[in-house]
A and B are shown apart, each in its own frame.
Chain A
Amino acid sequence: MLVTNEVGDYDFLKQDFLERLFDDQLDENEKTQLGNLSVLIDEDESWKYFSLAKRVQDKYAPTERKIGYLILIPTLRCNLSCSYCQVSRAPEKAKGYDWDEDTLKRFESFIKENSMDHLKVEFQGGEPSLRLDLVKSVIDIVEANTKSSEFVICSNMVNLDKALIDLLEKDNFTISTSIDGSLSTMTKNRTFEDETSKSVFDNFNYVLENYGPEKIAALPTITENQINSPEEIIQTYNNLGFQSIFLRPVNYMGFARKQHKESSQAINEWNNFYLKALDLIKEINKTHYFEEFYLALLVREIFTNSTRSFVDYRSPQRFLNNYLVIDFDEQIYPSDEARMLSRTRHVDLAMGDLKSGIDEAKLKEINVWAENQTHPDCMHCAYQPFCGIDIVDDMSRYQRFDTIKKDTWFCNRQMFLFDFIFEKVEQQDREWLDIFLKWISRSNEPITSYELF
């Protein structure tokens, strides 16, 4: 049985230890194990309380807002209409869905007011490459008002204009795109025309061959079209030379709510798909480095106590503390998924706008519920110190976030992943522990330090 404390120290005890704990029948080894976790504290060990309290303070104490990541939507217009598009995209020729000069001025004021040292900007859409003039203006503003910056444009790569190629010459500019698998899968999920899918692959390969893998990343979205064949998507990414794949299920948001209703709710099918994919990833790791992004992230956070870097799965979430989204109409959102829910008129999660600033009162209202530390279900879960909370996903799926946690998609997905990781640790499965060590050190030849586990 896995036992954890408030800050994520853990150990394994015999299945019946709880009964013996309350019967005062623990053996000396078990008492030591629980003492090391500060679960059992002797009367003369009050320092353990203070030590644990200090670590809780360091890990969870409130911090000042310091924006380091912005998602910007310079236009909502798009030249594709993907089956799972999560936003209410606008047609390519539509009017009134782009930033204008006044928006740029207000954006510059926002950047100056929030005094950012380092800023990463992600251009989302719509298809942001339709307005590369705005992208360039944003880059100029950010570079003039920060000490350092990075930019990534999330483009469907249907077109690869010279202006976009020119931007790639910048050291701090990269492209992220969507590759869902083979050409036929791309056509089913995204383009609905093989010719367009071929253009996407041609443009992708052009960037890869001329600028290298560090200049272009790709993300898949898994729908019912891929759920039974993880081989295709894993091999596609492996063959393209990627060392990482982020296996993302189609969200239960936007157009996917209708067009992929079944697969966006079928957690068991997803977990089966994921398990098969991990078997394939294990095989690939026998010859070279290859990670599943999210599992590798969890492994690093659990065993190296690294900071929660993935904004969707933190606790406390602290929306808008270091990350926010500015939509085409200047509305400010805590996440891209929150933008989607608002755009589809599901629930208004806008937290202000560039004109009037951040709505601090509304932000506090949502923030106080976005934590698992006092959540009635999560607080008794052994995985709580490693887990996050996603009340936006809960609102999307269940229209509320006070549902029983173990019944939610989020909890079932997370539990599955934590079970997988800790089973490998408890069993001391060297095949998987070796892979975890590779992912922790981001190297194909890590130091063999099994004591981490």
Chain B
Amino acid sequence: MEFQIPEKFIGYADVVLARLHYLYPDLKISFKKDTFSIEVENSNQDINLEKELKKEIFHQLYRAKIYEDTLPIKKWLFSDK
């Protein structure tokens, strides 16, 4: 399975790759250029798994971007009083 991601999310791919390896330890997942590739042993691709992975990849990318964008707010919320 392959999932191409928009250019502005490429900078977060390494973080997401690490998270995906944790969430799906049995899958071989890699990232090259602008695409996540996932090796699935069963050649009959499971449509539900594909949907789940797509949802998870884009959710994690979005999380990583929002985390970076909002980090100053988070730092303020939890700064030492």
Contact = CB atoms under 8 A, between A and B. Distances in A.
Nearest to A402: B63
12 contacts: A62-B76, A62-B78, A62-B80, A316-B78, A373-B73, A373-B74, A374-B70, A374-B71, A374-B74, A379-B66, A400-B23, A404-B59
A400 to B, nearest CB: 8
Given A376-B63, A376-B66, A62 B81 contact: yes
Contacts of B70: 373-374, 379
A368 interface: yes
Interface string B55-78: 100011011001100110110111
B67 A376 contact: yes
Interface in B5-48: 19, 23
B66 A374 contact: yes
Given A60-B77, A62-B77, A62-B79, 6 more contacts: A62-B78, A63-B81, A368-B74, A374-B70, A374-B73, A376-B66
A376 B73 CA distance: 13
Contacts of A376: 62-63, 66-67
Contacts of A63: 81
Contacts of A103: none
Consensus secondary structure, chain A interface: loop
**Range class of the B interface residue count:** 10 to 19
The 5 closest A-B pairs by CB, nearest first: A374-B70, A376-B66, A62-B81, A64-B81, A376-B63
Nearest to A64: B81
B55 A404 contact: yes
B1 to A, nearest CB: 20
A60 B81 CA distance: 12
Contacts of B80: 62
- Most chain B beta-carbon contacts within 10 A, residue among A63, A368, A376, A379: A376
A64 B66 CA distance: 28
Contacts of B63: 376, 402
A367 interface: yes
A400 B20 CA distance: 13
A330 interface: no
Interface string A346-375: 000000000000000000100110010110
Contacts, number: 40
B78 A368 contact: yes
A316 B81 contact: no
Contacts of A374: 66-67, 70-71, 73-74, 77
Given A404-B55, A404-B59, A367 B66 contact: no
Contacts of A373: 70, 73-74, 77
A367 B81 contact: no
A400 B59 CA distance: 14
Contact of B78 (A64, A367, A379, A404): A367
Nearest to B66: A376
Max chain A CB contacts within 10 Å: which of B66, B77, B79? B77
Interface string A397-408: 000101010000
Contacts of A316: 77-78
Contacts of B60: 402
A62 B60 CA distance: 28
Nearest to A404: B59
A374 B79 CA distance: 15
Contacts of A367: 78
Contacts of A364: 78
B76 to A, nearest CB: 8
Contacts of B73: 373-374
B30 to A, nearest CB: 21
Contacts of B81: 62-64
B4 to A, nearest CB: 21
Nearest to B74: A374
B37 to A, nearest CB: 22
Contacts of A379: 66, 70
A371 B76 CA distance: 12
Nearest to B55: A404
Contacts of A400: 23
A47 B80 CA distance: 28
B74 A371 contact: yes
